Amino acid sequence: MAGKAPAGTSRLRAATRENIAGWLFVAPVVVILGLFLLLPILMALWVSLTDWNGQGSPFRSGVPFVGVDNYTRLFTEEGLARQDFMTSIRNNVYYVLIVVPSQTVLALGLALVVNSRLLKGRTFFRSAFFFPSITSSVAICVVFLFIFANSGAVTSLLNLFGLDGPQWFADSRGVVHLLLGALGVVDPSSPPAALTDGGPFGLSWWEWLSGPSVAMTTIIMLVVWTSSGTFMLIFLAALQDIPVTLEEASMLDGAGRWQRFRYVTLPMLKPTMFLVVTLGLIATWQVFDQVYVMSQGNPAKTTLTPAYLSYQTAFRSFDYGSGTAISFVLFSIIVVFALIQRWVMRDRNGGAGSRRLRRS
């Protein structure tokens, strides 16, 4: 008995052995993530603080260190860099405001349709709605270029109804400006001086309020069509997870179809809705391939986005410091949205837990 270790010491040794074993198991993944994820991020962060032009190594002694100048140039210094960056932010904001609600509503509507037990051929429709999401985005972009060409199918269809379609990918006019002009509120060719004389971050209020251009609207239609299928599957999985007894109980209580959707289905879909909206926000701030294939930021930079501007600045203008700085600003925007999503979900779970405690 005298040589036997205390129970507390034995438990401590066992816990230590478990911790060591756990770290040994996860060590390969930690090393891989560190080498191929964390280290490149730190290297890119260093590049964003320099004036590296792509020649040689960015870590050699001759590379000029500029500190946060690449970041301040995007927000505070007058010049083309800030103007282009703010233009890309404006374009992306309108892109996000239209794409995220549209694809969410469309995905939920499609999920409700294919989840209906009365629909025949549900497997076919699920595959058909999801097919654009798994098709090559480059191939779809090329098809849209042909469809919206000056002699394409959309323009020809409008001509059948006596309408002259715009030059879709060459039209830089903002749809808000066009709407205000059609309503007779403002003449787009002669906007009020109060809107053109001043504005934040180097753009006038008239430029900020332009809305997405006709060319950007075409890209928006493409993205909503291709991305809704993926989110439809997420909503469909959540709909099939809702207990049938809840719907049957609401029907016995005399609830109509709209009331069942509003008071039973939607509350049960709140976690999925948060997930879909967050994924949509992240994806829309990262839009690149559609812009690269279809417009490359033209016409008049109305389809320029921060992701494409980062690529253009770094790999075409060989200003890798500024290009990397743009990517880190974009990374910060995405992190903010992720933290908001985390906070919303934590608040929801905490509230549910407190209610269960009060009931008990």
Section 133-155 average pLDDT:
89
* Cα 300 from Cα 160, distance rounded (Å): 30
Residue-level pLDDT at 3: 53
If one compares 35 and 246, the residue with the highest pLDDT of the two is 35
pLDDT tens by residue, 265-312: 888 888 898 889 889 989 999 999 999 999 999 899 999 999 999 999
Residue 350 confidence class, pLDDT cut points 50, 70, 90: very low
Per-residue model confidence (pLDDT) at position 4: 56
Average the pLDDT over 142-151 and give the result. Answer: 88
pLDDT number for residue 278: 87
Mean pLDDT, residues 61-86:
90
pLDDT category at 352 given cuts 50, 70, 90 is very low
* Burial class (CB within 10 angstroms; exposed 0-12, middle 13-18, buried 19+) of 217: buried
**pLDDT value, residue 17:** 83
Instruction: Label residue 356 by pLDDT band (50, 70, 90).
Output: very low
Mean pLDDT of 2-9: 61
Helix orientation angle between 80-114 and 122-134, rounded to the nearest 10 degrees:
170
Residues facing 174 on adjacent strands: 213
Give the phi and the psi of residue 213 in degrees, each rounded to 5: -70, 170
User: Are 274 and 345 in contact, with CB atoms under 8 Å apart?
Assistant: yes
Mean pLDDT of 37-61: 90
Indicate whether 247 pLDDT > 70: yes
300-339 pLDDT, tens per residue?
Answer: 999 999 999 999 999 999 999 999 999 999 999 888 877 8
CB 303, CB 88: distance < 8 Å? no
Q: Report the distance separating Cα 331 and Cα 94, nearest Å.
A: 19
- Answer whether 241's CB lies under 8 Å from 68's CB: no
Nearest partner of 135 among 226, 234, 235, 231, judged by Cα:
226
